[in-house]
Amino acid sequence: MSSHSAFAEAADALAGSVLGALSGTGDAVQLARYVDDAPDTLAALAAVRVLGADVFSPHLLGGHPLQAQDAAVVAKAFDAFPPSDTPEEAAVARRDHATAVLLARLSGDDTLRAVAPVPPDDAELTRTADWSSWSVRMAQLAPLATLGLDGPAHEAARDGVLSLSRGLSRSLLRRDFPTAVRLVRWLAWLQYEGAELPLDPGLAAEHVWLVGGAGPRAALDLAIARHFLELRPGTPPKEAART
């Protein structure tokens, strides 16, 4: 098996575990045990990096505490796979920094923010008028649509409600379900914030689930979206950290 295939399988397995914890079928994922028990330690660490901020979903949405040994695993994953700082991977850098911000916040160790530096300004985030390409960029940043974060991507989402909705409609028509799921997640987050939306993200989520199916990572995106849809709009979240 190639390393790429091993990493993809590990990411799907970890996403399934996070989904189970978020859905109430298990406790929060024990990342340290997951890595220790994995047949391929490097692939397991790669999976932690691939899921990024989403590994914290059971802690943010389910209230489970983050154990010190699990926080150490996330930091170790950054050591094994250092964050990118190239302009061509601006979305990756922003996701990495979001992971670091949440790691520091949930662990209580603010020095852990340093595992991924603050990304440079991304001019693409403000170009909501070019809704087609902009919505693709926002789909890449879907892991930031969670509790505990606020920053340029979130400000762009608030300013680009119509563009996000157009992007979702386009992705559904094109049967681009991975992109659709990620945009549903942003719109669900916006509804939770109290934004007025031109379409119903709940109906869109059900459509994607029924027509497009969902692998473990898409199912996790949908589960997170449903958490936001079930919360009362405008309910104050936990103190957000800017990223």
77-132 pLDDT, tens digit each: 999 999 977 767 889 999 999 999 999 999 999 999 999 988 888 888 888 889 99
238 and 128 part of one domain: yes
Among 120, 149, 181, where does a domain finish? Answer: 120
- β-pairing, 149-150 vs 241-242, is parallel
Q: Output the CA torsion 24→218→137→120 (10° steps).
A: 50
- Residues 111, 3 share a domain: yes
Number of domains in the chain: 2
Rounded CA gap, 157 and 72, in Å?
32
Boundaries of domain holding 225: 122-243
Given 62, 97, 120, which residue is the final one in a domain? 120
pTM of the entire predicted model: 0.91
Residue at token pair 């879907």? 142
| Stretches in the chain below the pLDDT threshold 70 | 1-2, 25-27, 87, 213-214, 232-243
The verdict on 4 and 104 lying in the same domain is yes
Judgement on whether residues 26 and 97 belong to the same structural domain of the protein: yes
Q: What is the pLDDT of residues 68-77, one digit of tens each?
A: 999 999 999 9
Of 120, 144, 170, the last residue of a domain is 120
231 burial class (0-12, 13-18, 19+ CB within 10 angstroms)? Answer: middle
